[in-house]
Structure 1
Amino acid sequence: MEKNLSHTLLLVDDNEDILEFLSDDLGDRYHILTALNGKKALNILDSESVDLVVSDIMMPEMDGFELCAAIKSGLEYSHVPVILLTAKNTLQSKIEGLELGADAYVEKPFSPEFLAVQILNLLKNRDKVKAYFSSAAPPQSRGLAPTRSDDLFLEKLRQVINANISNPDLDVDHLADSLHMSRPTFYRKVKAISDLSPNELINLARLRKAVELLNGGVLKIYEIAEMVGYSSQTQFGRNFQKQFGMSPTDYLKNPAG
């Protein structure tokens, strides 16, 4: 099985023996955090960047269904995949978990190898979305996000960036305020979905808009630089070169690359 210690898993179970077993089994591949119930898991999610949650269903204080609902219903961590573990071998139990947004359902007693493959597949899917953002950074992001609420979040984020794209002072604080989120929560959310910092996302949006304006063939380069929020043509040219491997002038000569 592949090693990827850059990913963090949150394991949630009120049985400490199971937590220890799973931690030992998965700890050589992932960074592991643990919680004994859903409430403690949410506290961890509030302060840590978590890539995937594996949770038992039957727990005191807050069970796995309630935890899954809390994760998937709010913007803060709806992007985090959830695998539910259960001893309930009933169709209704599975339906309930999936309706709450669970990404996978594993019955106890489970094969550690089967669980590991489920985890790996979900993380690979998330990484594909991240790679798409960081390489192409598409202006239209609908349908890419793992949940409907994340689709809405990304669409709103795109709208805010585009509406303020000529403002050189547009930054993470402005975006977080516009989406009614704290700065740390907003930063973690954007990074988790796109693998980009908010400032990197802003920069890519500026450059995408610049390409669109360059393709129009009407405006001068210094005018475009100002329209997409760069304080100088030099800064614009440097960022354009870094992203696309050519200067704006060279792009105009050969827009197809």
Structure 2
Amino acid sequence: MKGISQILKTTKPGILIVDDSEDILDYLSHDMKDNYMVHTARNGDEALPVLRQEYIQLVVSDVVMPLVDGFELCERIKLTLELSHIPIILLTAKNTLQARIQGLKAGADAYIEKPFSLEHLYAQIENLLASRVKLKESYARSPLVHINSIAHSKMDEAFLEQIVSTILGHLYETQLDVERLCVLMNMSKPTLYRKIKSISDLSPHDIINLTRLKKAADLINSGNHRVNELAEEAGYNSPGQFRRNFYKYFKMSPSEYIDKVTMRMD
């Protein structure tokens, strides 16, 4: 399994192509290799270990395959905590309405009929990846955007709510760190890191800080404009540390945000 440092060094989006046709695998992987970190599997049964071992950001899967077909693979991904955030594009020669409905019910994010054009496939891939990047950036940069905005499944939403609830329940622990969060979440560090990184493009440390800062932003919007009190309520050791972190993430000081909120309320 790749270590955290290796995952961080990955620059191209990781794409898993699942198809029982070696010709399709060779064709797509060769064409995609310049823009994506491409992995392949010949059926859903082979795909699942790859998904757990590699940093995969999107799956392109055929539907009709031996052992575990595309519908079942899609369902397994969407029902597995560590994988449920991954978008899935299903490729199939089944062009009936019933097949399309079955794919959507299984949790597919897009459904493309064979034969397909590469241009269409690439457009779907880029749209799915780009839309998620925008949501992640909005969450990380805005004091008021809720973490649920980056969830793409009920399982992701429940996971993110559990993390935020856990951090908020331990705000008084000024030394709350990733190791402590892993214990509280009953998850290993690699598993917690991979899940948070995949959903948000952030580290668990970032999520801890952002949860503290967004709590402070909520307090500001509720009328508490004393920076010293805000720092203490958010679990920071000092107002200086609070100010530095607030500016680091939101590109404005707490005082500037207070002025912004005050002007909006006038």
Task: Identify the TM-score tier after normalising by the shorter chain.
Answer: 0.7 to 0.9
Structure 2 stretches of 5 or more lacking a match?
A: 1-10
Conserved? CA contact 2:91–2:112, under 8 Å: yes
Task: Give the whole-Å Cα distance in 1 for the aligned partners of 2:129 and 2:252.
Answer: 33
Q: Tell which deviates more after alignment, 46-55 or 220-229.
A: 220-229
Identity of aligned residues (%): 49
Matches within 5 A, 1:2-81: 6-81=12-87
Matches within 5 A, 1:140-151: 140-142=146-148, 144-151=150-157
- AA in 2 matched with 1:57: V
> Which residue in 2 is equivalent to 1:89?
95
Distance 1:216 1:148, change over 3 A: closer
Distance 1:231 1:86, change over 3 A: same
Q: Is residue 194 of structure 2 the alignment partner of residue 203 of structure 1?
A: no
Task: Give the whole-Å Cα distance in 1 for the aligned partners of 2:49 and 2:24.
Answer: 21
Matches within 5 A, 1:1-257: 6-136=12-142, 138=144, 140-142=146-148, 144-214=150-220, 221-248=227-254
Deviation at 1:248, TM superposition (A): 4.3
Conserved? CA contact 1:134–1:195, under 8 Å: no
- 1:16-48 CA-to-partner distances (Å, cap 9, x unmatched) read 111110012222221211112212211111122
Conserved? CA contact 2:136–2:150, under 8 Å: no
Task: Give the whole-Å Cα distance in 2 for the aligned partners of 1:254 and 1:136.
Answer: 13
Other structure's SS at 2:162 match: helix
Conserved? CA contact 1:167–1:228, under 8 Å: no
Task: Give the whole-Å Cα distance in 2 for the aligned partners of 1:128 and 1:219.
Answer: 30
Conserved? CA contact 2:224–2:230, under 8 Å: no
Conserved? CA contact 1:53–1:83, under 8 Å: yes
Task: Give the whole-Å Cα distance in 1 for the aligned partners of 2:82 and 2:24.
Answer: 28
Conserved? CA contact 2:143–2:250, under 8 Å: no
Distance 1:164 1:49, change over 3 A: same
Deviation at 1:68, TM superposition (A): 0.6
TM (norm. structure 2) is 0.84
Task: Give the whole-Å Cα distance in 1 for the aligned partners of 2:84 and 2:153.
Answer: 7
Conserved? CA contact 1:83–1:103, under 8 Å: yes
Deviation at 1:12, TM superposition (A): 0.9
Other structure's SS at 2:94 match: coil
Task: Give the whole-Å Cα distance in 1 for the aligned partners of 2:138 and 2:49.
Answer: 30
Structure 1 stretches of 5 or more lacking a match?
A: none
- 1:188-229 CA-to-partner distances (Å, cap 9, x unmatched) read 221222221111111122122233445666685444323322
- 1:95-145 CA-to-partner distances (Å, cap 9, x unmatched) read 211111011111222211111111111112211221111211546334542
Q: Tell which deviates more after alignment, 189-198 or 132-141.
A: 132-141
> Which residue in 1 is equivalent to 2:6?
none
- 1:54-97 CA-to-partner distances (Å, cap 9, x unmatched) read 01122223221121111001211111100111122322222211
Other structure's SS at 1:105 match: strand
Task: Give the whole-Å Cα distance in 2 for the aligned partners of 1:122 and 1:252.
Answer: 35
Q: CA RMSD in A?
A: 2.6
Task: Give the whole-Å Cα distance in 2 for the aligned partners of 1:92 and 1:249.
Answer: 56
- AA in 1 matched with 2:80: G
Distance 1:63 1:223, change over 3 A: same
Other structure's SS at 2:15 match: strand
